[in-house]
Amino acid sequence: MDSDITKRSGLIGNPRDFIGGLGFLLLAVFVLWATRDLPGQRGFQLGAGSVPRLFALLLAFNAIFVMALSAFGQGPAVHYALGPSLAIAALTGIGLFTNYFAGPELAVAVLILAAFASRQKLAALSIRGPIFIAIAILAFAAFIKSLGLFVTVFALVAVSSAASEEYKPVESFAWALGLAVFSVLLFILLLNQPISAFPPSLLTR
Amino acid sequence: MTDIFANLIFGLSIAITPTNIVLCLVGALAGTLVGVLPGIGPLATIAMLLPITFGLPPVGALIMLSGVFYGAMYGGSTTAILVNIPGEAASVVTTLDGFEMAKQGRAGSALAIAAIGSFFAGCVATVLIALLAGPLTQFAFFFGPAEYFALMTLGLVMAIVLANGPISKSTLMILAGIVFSMVSADVDTGEGRMTFGRYELSDGFGFIVVAMGVFGFAEIIKNVLQSSTRQLIAERITNLMPTRRDFAEAVPAIARGTILGSLLGILPGGGAILSSFASYTLEKKLSKTPERFGKGAIEGVAGPESANNAAAQTSFIPLLTLGIPANAVMALMVGAMTLHGIAPGPQVATKQPDLFWGLIASMWVGNLMLLVINLPLIGIWVRLLRVPYRLLYPMILVFCCIGVYSLNTSTFEIMLALAFGLFGYWLYKHDFEPAPLLLGFILGPMMEENLRKAMSLARGDLLEIMTRPLTGVLLASAAILLVVAILPAVRKQRETVFVE
């Protein structure tokens, strides 16, 4: 989906704005499509679809305007390379596939393993940061209900730490342990949040 | 006049109950703590700490949240001066002269002047809020749905004109925010709009989800790629007291910054960021020795710091009197008030005077607290800055995730927030400034509701809506403003203010 921004001269003077505008044009078209069945104005009453369509149209015109301006403007290129896109597509595929057959916890576990195994490769494609952060957040979503806060925070910290180029495994595990204890103390004991500290299935047995 | 002081004293009696003082203190401290961390502005800070206020009564919760807001602003200036990293956008200009002063060994003076200036500005702004709140609230009762719609349109246009960056792109952000806000069940019929049958979406995207994604997660993704080596100036800060000469130079700048900031803060779309830039430009223009700016001129710290604090506070005025947020931080406060069951608007002052005046008085208390506690604590904030980013961001992620999850114990919302985070990162890659998006997101449903009410009342006659005197004036001003802003001459002027 990204990455390096380089100067480029071509048909479009400012590709960064051009693609940005294009993104919003697509969003506007999507909204117009998604609201196609909603009723519009009936008599003098505005319907459920009127206002969303009005703003989607404004958004579309504005996006086209930005794209038109960018053709004459000057700006950096945004490079959408094949390598990172394929890597993201592959990881998404693995995630969706395992999720379908084995549930979210295992799917995230597989993703974590895949990401750690291809750490150097991801760094070379310069998508290491976003990938590890995204998987760490997915891990939080997948683990919190079934595994409890302690394990979840540990996973969130341990996985997200690998996003940094300055990653130090031992330090990050210690930090993950510390933060897991800290969050149980703060959010469950002190702030009484309705979250289980440990896997609920273990506690009920 | 006596009324106002009676009201302020009534407010103080609420703000200085032991519980509320503690809440204000905790808010200010937590806000500073998070605000000091690089890359986390007031928006993300408030969003992160909002869940902590859930168990509190509304008055206490709002007092704490505004404490968080000032604390975050204050923390931002501290890092701007000490490490040349603006903790939030409003302190970008503080880095210019503040960091230079620190390099010359005058970090103490810079920090002290920033704190004193902010405190003075805060005091003036508090009185101004008290003065204006009454009359404006009365005025607001003349507003019908059509007028509200027109006022919000004007507000959004001003936000576009005053935003940092090209007008066409900030308009795009606002419109996108409005479009995102349309995902929900329809207010009148309950029909799902763009919900794709998911019941989680029938209440729409939560504003915390959007704010945390675009301002929390996206910031981390963006910053994790950058190196964390920081140049830390002034190992130990001694001599916090500014010299007599510092004072002589800073006092007029503080006064001017306060006036400028108070005025710009009230404007929709104005607020802290714009006023700090404007104040710096003003100080440089007025100075007899403009060449000192950028080389450690104390006016370059005193003016903008006072201006941004004054503006941060007066931007509460449109929110408290009309119920309309003037900028993204205030939009977040609307969300916070709604979560606590308060509908922002003119009725708050009359129906919940304790909340209204308590909040106003607590602003003053909060500012005093920041002055008293934070100068001695600077050593701690400095030490915090030495913690490498690779340890900080996982901790921020923990707070963000638990914050989102504790809203509705929904894992779906965490994934949504992640989606908004990736979207925010995409915005950054394409050089879009996301703050107007949040403003559009909060104002969107309000605008729709008022427009639909107005249309029903006018029996579908758009002309009748537009020609109501007040509505007409407001809509015409919006149109004129937009046209003027696009004029080449004004556009150039506008760009120079931000380029400085």
Question: Could you read off the pLDDT of A85-114 as tens digits, one per residue?
Answer: 888 888 888 888 888 888 888 888 888 888
A7 has a pLDDT exceeding 70: no
B228 has a pLDDT exceeding 60: no
ipTM confidence: 0.89
Question: Does residue A156 belong to the interface with chain B, where contact is any CB pair within 8 Å?
Answer: yes
| Whether B398 and A172 lie within 8 Å, measured CB to CB | no
> Does residue B238 sit in helix, strand or coil?
coil
* Distance of residue B355 Cα from the nearest chain A Cα, in angstroms: 24
* Distance of residue B387 Cα from the nearest chain A Cα, in angstroms: 12
pLDDT, position A53: 87
pLDDT, position B491: 62
* Distance of residue A87 Cα from the nearest chain B Cα, in angstroms: 16
Mean pLDDT of B360-385: 79
In total, chain B counts a number of residues equal to: 500
In sequence order, the β-bridge partners of residue B239 are: none
The span from the CA of A134 to the CA of A146, in Å, is 20
- Range 181-210 of B in CB contact (< 8 A) with A: 182, 186, 188-189, 191, 193-194, 196
Burial of A89 (0-12, 13-18, 19+ CB in 10 A): exposed
- Which residue in the set B51, B228, B418 is minimally distant from A138, CB to CB? B418
The span from the CA of B329 to the CA of B31, in Å, is 13
A4 has a pLDDT exceeding 60: no
Helices (H) and strands (E) in chain B, counts: 23, 2
Question: Does residue A31 belong to the interface with chain B, where contact is any CB pair within 8 Å?
Answer: yes
The span from the CA of B275 to the CA of B309, in Å, is 9
Mean pLDDT of B436-442: 85
B398 neighbors A179 (Cβ within 8 angstroms): yes
SS3 labels along B462-476: HHHHHCCHHHHHHHH
| Whether A23 and B430 lie within 8 Å, measured CB to CB | yes
Question: Does residue B462 belong to the interface with chain A, where contact is any CB pair within 8 Å?
Answer: no
Indicate the pLDDT class of residue A3, thresholds 50, 70 and 90.
very low
What would the two tokens of residue A123 be? 């760094």
Please write the tens of the pLDDT for every residue from B26-42: 888 888 887 777 667 77
pLDDT, position A178: 93
Contacts of A156 in chain B (CB under 8 A): 394, 397-398, 401
Mean pLDDT of A26-34: 89
Question: Does residue B464 belong to the interface with chain A, where contact is any CB pair within 8 Å?
Answer: no
Q: Of B179, B187, B202, B221, whose CA–CA distance to B412 is shortest?
A: B202
* Distance of residue A26 Cα from the nearest chain B Cα, in angstroms: 11
Contacts of B181 in chain A (CB under 8 A): none
| Whether A138 and B425 lie within 8 Å, measured CB to CB | no
Please write the tens of the pLDDT for every residue from B142-184: 788 888 888 888 888 877 877 667 788 888 998 999 999 888 7
* Distance of residue A82 Cα from the nearest chain B Cα, in angstroms: 17
B35 neighbors B88 (Cβ within 8 angstroms): yes
Mean pLDDT of B124-141: 82
Instruction: Give the residue from B149, B196, B224, B450 with the most A CB atoms within 10 Å of its CB, the best one to mutate.
Output: B224
**Other Cβ atoms within 10 Å of B289 Cβ, number:** 9
A153 has a pLDDT exceeding 90: yes
Instruction: Please tell me which residue, A19 or B239, carries the higher pLDDT value.
Output: A19
A13 has a pLDDT exceeding 80: no
* Region at B296 (left for phi over 0; alpha for psi -120 to 50; beta for the rest): left
Burial of B18 (0-12, 13-18, 19+ CB in 10 A): exposed
B233 has a pLDDT exceeding 60: no
What would the two tokens of residue B170 be? 């900030």
The span from the CA of B250 to the CA of B296, in Å, is 12
Please write the tens of the pLDDT for every residue from B176-214: 999 998 887 777 777 777 777 777 777 778 888 888 888
Mean pLDDT of A20-45: 83
Question: Does residue B220 belong to the interface with chain A, where contact is any CB pair within 8 Å?
Answer: yes
Residue found by looking up tokens 């007029």 in the block: B252
B174 neighbors B152 (Cβ within 8 angstroms): no
Burial of B419 (0-12, 13-18, 19+ CB in 10 A): middle
* Distance of residue B190 Cα from the nearest chain A Cα, in angstroms: 9
The span from the CA of B209 to the CA of B413, in Å, is 7
pLDDT, position B232: 57
- Percentage, residues of chain B above pLDDT 70: 92
Q: Of B358, B320, B302, whose CA–CA distance to B121 is shortest?
A: B302
> Which amino acid, one-letter code, is at B315?
S
Instruction: Give the residue from A53, A58, A160, A165 with the most B CB atoms within 10 Å of its CB, the best one to mutate.
Output: A160
pLDDT, position B358: 84
At residue B314, φ and ψ (nearest 5 deg) are -70, -15
The dihedral through the CA atoms of A186, A189, A190, A196 has a sign that is: positive
At residue A6, φ and ψ (nearest 5 deg) are -130, 155
pLDDT, position A202: 74
A193 has a pLDDT exceeding 80: no
- Range 42-81 of B in CB contact (< 8 A) with A: 51-52, 55
| Whether A44 and B405 lie within 8 Å, measured CB to CB | no
B413 neighbors B200 (Cβ within 8 angstroms): yes
**Other Cβ atoms within 10 Å of B102 Cβ, number:** 25
| Closest chain B residue to A174, measured at CA | B391
A2 has a pLDDT exceeding 70: no
- Which residue in the set A62, A168, A172 is minimally distant from B171, CB to CB? A62
Indicate the pLDDT class of residue B500, thresholds 50, 70 and 90.
very low
The overall average pLDDT reported for chain B is 81
CA B377 to chain centre: 24
Question: Does residue A43 belong to the interface with chain B, where contact is any CB pair within 8 Å?
Answer: yes
Q: Which of A62-71, A130-139, B402-411, B441-450 has the highest mean pLDDT?
A: A130-139
What would the two tokens of residue A169 be? 């495994």
pLDDT, position B492: 62
- Percentage, residues of chain B above pLDDT 90: 5
Contacts of A144 in chain B (CB under 8 A): 405, 411, 414
> Does residue A11 sit in helix, strand or coil?
coil
- Range 103-142 of A in CB contact (< 8 A) with B: 126, 129-130, 133-134, 136-138, 140-142
| Closest chain A residue to B220, measured at CA | A133
> Does residue B185 sit in helix, strand or coil?
strand
pLDDT, position B338: 82
The span from the CA of B270 to the CA of B311, in Å, is 8
Burial of B196 (0-12, 13-18, 19+ CB in 10 A): exposed
B313 neighbors B122 (Cβ within 8 angstroms): yes
Indicate the pLDDT class of residue A205, thresholds 50, 70 and 90.
low
Assessment of whether the complete model's pTM goes beyond 0.90: no
The span from the CA of B178 to the CA of B245, in Å, is 50
Q: Of B47, B42, B318, B39, whose CA–CA distance to B159 is shortest?
A: B318
- Range 408-427 of B in CB contact (< 8 A) with A: 409, 411-412, 414-415, 417-418, 421-422, 425-427
Size of interface A-B (CB pairs under 8 A): 185
Instruction: Give the residue from A122, A140, A189 with the most B CB atoms within 10 Å of its CB, the best one to mutate.
Output: A140
B481 neighbors B158 (Cβ within 8 angstroms): yes
Mean pLDDT of B54-68: 84
B235 has a pLDDT exceeding 60: no
Instruction: Please tell me which residue, A174 or B41, carries the higher pLDDT value.
Output: A174
The span from the CA of A86 to the CA of A92, in Å, is 10
Q: At what angle do helices B353-385 and B2-15 cross, to 10 degrees?
A: 60
* Distance of residue A205 Cα from the nearest chain B Cα, in angstroms: 23
The span from the CA of B365 to the CA of B132, in Å, is 19
Cα Rg of chain B, angstroms = 22
A6 has a pLDDT exceeding 60: no
Q: Of B441, B474, B445, B482, whose CA–CA distance to B147 is shortest?
A: B474
B171 neighbors B384 (Cβ within 8 angstroms): no
Cβ density class A138-166: b for 16+ within 10 Å, e for less: bbbbbbbbebbbbbbbbbbbbbbbbbbee
pLDDT, position A176: 93
Instruction: Please tell me which residue, B234 or A176, carries the higher pLDDT value.
Output: A176
Q: A56-60, A140-144, A174-178, B338-342 — which is least confidently predicted? A: B338-342
| Whether A175 and B176 lie within 8 Å, measured CB to CB | no
B68 neighbors B252 (Cβ within 8 angstroms): no
The span from the CA of B380 to the CA of B356, in Å, is 34
| Whether B405 and A144 lie within 8 Å, measured CB to CB | yes
pLDDT, position B329: 82
Q: How many CA atoms lie within 13 A of B95 on its CB side?
A: 15
B405 has a pLDDT exceeding 90: no
